[in-house]
Amino acid sequence: MLKGKGLQSILMLFMVMTLVFVAACGNGEKNTANDKNSGAGGNVSSGTNEEVAANLSGEIKVDGSSTVFPLTEAAAEEFGKENKDVRVSVGTSGTGGGFKQFCAGEIAISNASRHIKDEEAAKCKEAGIEFTELSVAYDGLSIVIHKDNDFIDHLTVEELNKIFSSESTAKTWADIRAGWPAEEIKMFSPGADSGTYDYFNEAILDKKGIRNDSAISFSEDDNTLVQGVAGNKFGIGYFGFAYYEENADKLKVVPVDGGSGAIEPTLDSIKDGSYAPLSRPLFIYVSKKELDRAEVKGFVKYYIENIGDMAKEVGYVPMPDEKYTEEAAKIEA
Amino acid sequence: MSLLEEDTGRKQIAQRRRMDFILHILFVICTSIGVLALMALMVDIIMDGIMRFAPDLFTNYPSRRASQAGMKSAIVGSLYMLLIMAPLSFILGVGAAIFLEEYAKKNRLTRLIQLNISTLAGVPSIVYGILGLTLFVRGLALERSLLSGALTMTLLVLPIIIVSAQEAIRAVPKARRDASFALGATKWQTVSRSVMPSALPGVLTGVILALSRAIGETAPLVMIGGLTYVAFLPESILDSFTVMPIQIYNWISRPNEAFHELAAAGIIVLLIMLLLMNFAAILLRNKYQKNV
């Protein structure tokens, strides 16, 4: 009796567990089946684009900056439609994290929102990984303030430095420019791991680092920064142009004077570089060894040739056409 | 004298009753704060996400256009991971619990192991991510694959499963074991035919709750390289993968409002999955409680 019941129970247990898994599995397979009809499956060739795709196949691993991610995602999505056998995957480990994997030879392409650092390049060299740097689009770091803030008409680079620098002792807006209210400054900044922070640190703060006291809040999530500035009448923050564009009704963007007059970030001023020093190029780094693979070369070529049209859609600014031609030549070199 | 005593007695009773009433209200408030917070969350998420809760969400791959984006690869990735993880963590976890409760001598070493397991159960999940990165991704060269992810998650839930399985086994009356031994059964016969069947409901509940914690975890998987844009389904356990929480996190951190709605819809899917798992736990428990 006892024996029968015990065995039965254990058998039942495994049966139930298997059932749960089979059910789970079934779901996945049903999805695959559904998708075969719509032709979006990773390894299904629908026939319509066969002649365009020179039958490329293989896996391309991309990782790195979350700022560049939307661009690479857009390129991978469109490229995937024409080359169904090429499996592109994109991660968001951050610029630094991306280079770490890139120089360990784990990925083919690294997304970066800044240039590679010397020590990172040294690591790559040590591992025998040669690379090509390609710029893919521009981003304008936007300085934003509360919608109802009416005393700031523009900020100079020195004033920004005075606000954010680790050496700054400024506490209120009156410390920044005479005549401004003696209200405490509330700052919102991306975290130190992000390429956005690195760029700001380099362009505005002379690499002295951002202040770290009770007046500043850090977040890796740009939407949190948007909310922070939108909720603080005396707040100020900075992040990518796309986040300002989507939240233009809640925020006010500050024109920045880099020495030749106050310029507001717009598609045009970022593109022609007059929004200086805060318009920055975004990059992908491609391993030269990986470029020998036809699918990687195909993908990178497609990326450079088409990203100009897609950049605006994901909130970035396309580079001038001749710049793309220049970058495309680098792939062949 | 006696009148006075009676009076203080009555006063004391009234006071105790009042105290009881106040505490009663206090506990009701405690409960309702938790429930209300959950309700608020659900209502908020459903209001945001219900519009996007459409077939597209299940059949489309991620896209830069919110109107075409889905989380097919993430849903399938989560399910596959569960598939690898569940048997592994069940066998390892329950095995360890049986050893610790039934076979191990109650000495200092066992207590040390016990203490370690309890501590591990409280270790932040990101630490398991670092462990998985060194051990599985780099050490065993499994790369950033589904298998690495599943193994890391197995490590993450093991301590929870061991502890809950131990509790369940410990709750089996000693008389059952004694009776079994008295009939001449060996240790394994006793464990497999007498102890486990009656501990099973508790063990299963623990396992399923631990697994439902695992499908909501993001941090360790980000660490070992769960990817964000994956427009294909994993074909082998060594393939790249993504899971639902990673996809949701990516959507919520985008500038565009439409993606925030997608994220809410993704959260609805995740919540439904969690509810189903908890429901399964209850069903299983009821079934086995009747049998034993």
Q: What is the DSSP string of A82-95?
A: H-TTEEEEE---HH
Token pair belonging to B78? 């989560």
Residue B249 Cα, gap to closest chain A Cα (Å): 10
The partner residue sitting opposite A70, judged by closest CB among B61, B64, B226, is B64
The partner residue sitting opposite A80, judged by closest CB among B193, B231, B240, is B231
Token pair belonging to B129? 């991510």
Question: Where does chain B have alpha helices with state H?
Answer: 2-49, 55-59, 72-98, 108-121, 125-132, 146-170, 174-182, 187-190, 196-215, 219-223, 244-252, 257-291
* pLDDT for B65: 84
A311 contacts: CB under 8 Å, gap ≥ 6 = A71, A136, A137, A317, A318
Residue A170: exposed, middle, or buried by beta-carbon count in 10 A (0-12, 13-18, 19+)?
A: middle
Cα A176 from Cα A154, distance rounded (Å)? 12
Give the residue-averaged pLDDT of A35-48: 38
Cα A60 from Cα A293, distance rounded (Å)? 10
pTM of the model: 0.78
Residues of chain A numbered 10-69 and touching chain B (CB < 8 Å)? 10, 13, 16-17, 20-21, 24-25, 27-28, 31-32, 34-35, 38, 40-43, 59, 61, 63, 66, 69
Cα B37 from Cα B27, distance rounded (Å)? 16
Give the pLDDT confidence of A62-89 residue by residue, as tens digits. 998 888 999 999 999 999 888 888 889 9
Under 8 Å between Cβ of A287 and A102:
yes
Nearest CA in chain B to A244: B255
Residues of chain A numbered 264-323 and touching chain B (CB < 8 Å)? 310, 313-315
Cα B70 from Cα B265, distance rounded (Å)? 10
* pLDDT for B292: 53
Residue B269 Cα, gap to closest chain A Cα (Å): 13
Question: Between chains, do B222 and A16 touch, taking CB under 8 Å as contact?
Answer: no
* pLDDT for A41: 37
In chain A the domains, ranked by start, together with CATH numbers, are 57-139+281-332 (3.40.190.10), 142-277 (3.40.190.10)
Cα A241 from Cα A281, distance rounded (Å)? 12
* Residues B188-217 as b or e (16 or more Cβ within 10 Å = b): ebbbbbbbbbbbbbbbbbbbbbbbbbbbbb
* pLDDT for A131: 93
Token pair belonging to B115? 């203490």
Q: Which residues of B touch A59 (CB under 8 A)?
A: 240
* pLDDT for A22: 44
Hey, which residues does B226 pair with through a beta bridge? none
List the single range of A24-28, A120-124, A191-195, B177-181 with lowest mean pLDDT.
A24-28
Q: Band of the pLDDT at A44, cuts 50, 70, 90? A: very low
The partner residue sitting opposite A313, judged by closest CB among B64, B76, B230, is B64
Question: Between chains, do A40 and B60 touch, taking CB under 8 Å as contact?
Answer: yes
Q: Which residues of A touch B194 (CB under 8 A)?
A: 2, 6
Give the residue-averaged pLDDT of A214-225: 88
Give the pLDDT confidence of A199-219 residue by residue, as tens digits. 899 889 888 889 888 889 998
Residue A44: exposed, middle, or buried by beta-carbon count in 10 A (0-12, 13-18, 19+)?
A: middle
Give the pLDDT confidence of A139-193 residue by residue, as tens digits. 989 999 999 998 999 999 999 998 999 888 888 999 998 889 999 999 999 988 7
| Average pLDDT over chain A, rounded to an integer | 82
List the single range of A45-54, A99-108, A177-186, B27-36 with lowest mean pLDDT.
A45-54
% residues pLDDT > 70 (chain A):
84
* Residues B222-239 as b or e (16 or more Cβ within 10 Å = b): bbbbbbbbbbbbbeebeb
Give the residue-averaged pLDDT of A93-102: 87
Nearest CA in chain A to B222: A93
Cα B146 from Cα B227, distance rounded (Å)? 10
Q: Rounded to 5 degrees, what are φ and ψ at B182?
A: -60, -25
Residue B288 Cα, gap to closest chain A Cα (Å): 8
Selected residue of A1, A11, A13, A219 to mutate for chain B interface (largest B Cβ count, 10 A): A13
Low-confidence ranges of chain B (pLDDT < 50): none
* pLDDT for A49: 41
Cα A96 from Cα A194, distance rounded (Å)? 8
Q: Rounded to 5 degrees, what are φ and ψ at A253?
A: -95, 145
Q: Band of the pLDDT at A282, cuts 50, 70, 90? A: very high
Nearest-Å Rg of the Cα atoms of chain B is 25
List the single range of A2-11, A129-138, A278-287, B198-207 with lowest mean pLDDT.
A2-11
B161 contacts: CB under 8 Å, gap ≥ 6 = B89, B90, B93, B94, B97, B206, B207, B210
Q: Which residues of A touch B291 (CB under 8 A)?
A: 5, 9
Token pair belonging to A222? 């740009």
Residues of chain A numbered 228-267 and touching chain B (CB < 8 Å)? 240, 242-243, 245-247
Give the residue-averaged pLDDT of A98-127: 91
Its ipTM equals: 0.74
Which CB contacts under 8 angstroms, 24+ apart, belong to A117-125? A120/A96, A123/A99, A124/A99
Q: Which residues of B touch A17 (CB under 8 A)?
A: 86-87, 90
* pLDDT for A30: 36
Q: Band of the pLDDT at A29, cuts 50, 70, 90? A: very low
Under 8 Å between Cβ of B171 and B202:
yes
Selected residue of A31, A44, A69 to mutate for chain B interface (largest B Cβ count, 10 A): A31
